Amino acid sequence: MKPQILPTTQLATLRDEHPELMVEDHIRLAIDELFDIAFPAKKDTKTDAELEAYATELTNGDPDAWGKWVYYPWLNKLVHFPPVAQLRALRTSRNRNLVTAEEQQKLYTATLLIIGMSVGSNIVEALVSQGIGRKLLLVDMDIIEPSNLNRIRAPYHHVGLHKVEAISRKVWEIDPYIEIEAYNDGLTEENLQEILETHNPDVLVDEMDDLRMKIVLREAAKAHCKPVVMAADDGDDALLEVERYDTDADLQLFAGRIPEEVLERIKAGGIPRPELGMMIGRYFVGPEYIPLRMYQSLMEVGRTLPSWPQLGSAAALSGLSVAYVIKKILLGKPVRDGRTLVSLDERLDLERLTEAHQQQLRQFQAMMSGEK
């Protein structure tokens, strides 16, 4: 379900059909801020006459007919928006000059593929808040379950709603002009080719659980010279991975970290769940990056815990980290590739420095590495 962007001439008909419709019209506040953007030196001294003259010129004398009216069926609400260029200016005005006007245009025109809407929802929010991405390709096969609400910022009444639908609604309520292509059946080899050939995304973001499709995604990214960015919530931290297949044609999958025979076994399938869990820890995360409490928690999965733990704060940190890297890539700025631990623990957690903590951590790392 998408919002309907309507001309003024259709408003009367819509309101007749929906007499209970709520209307939000704050276009005068938008015009006031647009004046400040156009004449920053007058922000605190503008007169009512100056503002009225600006509004008359901007809207051809009719603020009520200016811009677009957007009908949100799921909210039963009609909202008055500025035109696309003015809305973009309003949403990104506080970015200046940390981001120049030319840079903002590059960021806005990007097409981005985000696969996996749990951690991925945090990435989408971080991107949209910065005005990054005119077209978003959102992929997930699941609905929102109650336990997802520590990582997906959604109200409880969204439980049961498809994740892509919930995130799309949130984006459109901020900016109805953003294009969204929804892939509600998850990523497959077939729709991946369609996505790459039809939409030609600038960056591919991997936040899915399917290990086989992680490999397939990177094979396709390498063939199409597309960068892949991934972040995994890791206790309180985020483990960031940047693979620049767009700049290095010879780059191995996962930067060569995972042996070819392991990749082939995963693609073939049929690996027992306990062994698969060890593979994730050993190759996809790395024993050196797993914090002690995560090790201890993983030992309880299937006993006292139904699944591995994930913190909403780490999901938010992952979202910010991936959005940061995407911004750098889109602007052609140098950015560190490979793996980076974005860690609050390293800076702030004093307990991890104690010998007792380090000794327990070494024991778990040896077990994960297969050492005796």
Question: 137 and 57 in one domain?
Answer: no
Look at residue 12 in the predicted model and tell me its pLDDT. Answer: 82
Structural domain of residue 43, as residue ranges? Answer: 4-82
Question: 195 and 66 in one domain?
Answer: no
Question: 154 and 187 in one domain?
Answer: yes
Instruction: Tell whether 339 is covered by a domain.
Output: yes
C-alpha–C-alpha distance, residues 183 and 371, integer Å: 42
Report which residue type is found at 33. Answer: E
Question: 147 and 229 in one domain?
Answer: yes
Question: 125 and 54 in one domain?
Answer: no
Instruction: Tell whether 352 is covered by a domain.
Output: no
For the whole model, what pTM was predicted? 0.93
Question: 216 and 107 in one domain?
Answer: yes
Question: 166 and 42 in one domain?
Answer: no
Question: 265 and 132 in one domain?
Answer: yes
Count the alpha carbons within 13 Å of 136 in the hemisphere toward its beta carbon.
Answer: 32
Q: Which two tokens stand for residue 237?
A: 């931290």
Residue finishing a domain among 51, 82, 113: 82
DSSP 137: E
Instruction: Tell whether 93 is covered by a domain.
Output: no
Distances (CA, A) of 212 to 188, 256, 264, 348: 10, 16, 9, 36
Look at residue 371 in the predicted model and tell me its pLDDT. Answer: 61
Distances (CA, A) of 238 to 21, 203, 223, 235, 361: 43, 19, 28, 8, 18
DSSP H or E stretch at residue 88:
helix 84-92
Instruction: Tell whether 364 is covered by a domain.
Output: no
Q: How many domains does one find in the chain? A: 2
Instruction: Tell whether 139 is covered by a domain.
Output: yes
Instruction: Tell whether 353 is covered by a domain.
Output: no
Q: Mark the ranges of the chain whose per-residue pLDDT is less than 70.
A: 371-372
CATH of the domain at 177: 3.40.50.720
Question: 230 and 193 in one domain?
Answer: yes
The residue assigned the tokens 């815990």 is 305
Instruction: Tell whether 303 is covered by a domain.
Output: no
Question: 245 and 112 in one domain?
Answer: yes
The residue assigned the tokens 């001309």 is 7
Question: 231 and 339 in one domain?
Answer: yes
Instruction: Tell whether 283 is covered by a domain.
Output: no
Q: Is beta strand 135-139 parallel, antiparallel or unpaired with respect to 111-115?
A: parallel
C-alpha–C-alpha distance, residues 127 and 120, integer Å: 10
Residue finishing a domain among 18, 49, 82: 82
Report which residue type is found at 144. Answer: I
Task: From 77, 233, 74, 72, select the one nearest 162 (Cα to Cα).
Answer: 74
Question: 314 and 176 in one domain?
Answer: yes
Q: Is the distance from CB of 283 to CB of 215 less than 8 angstroms?
A: no
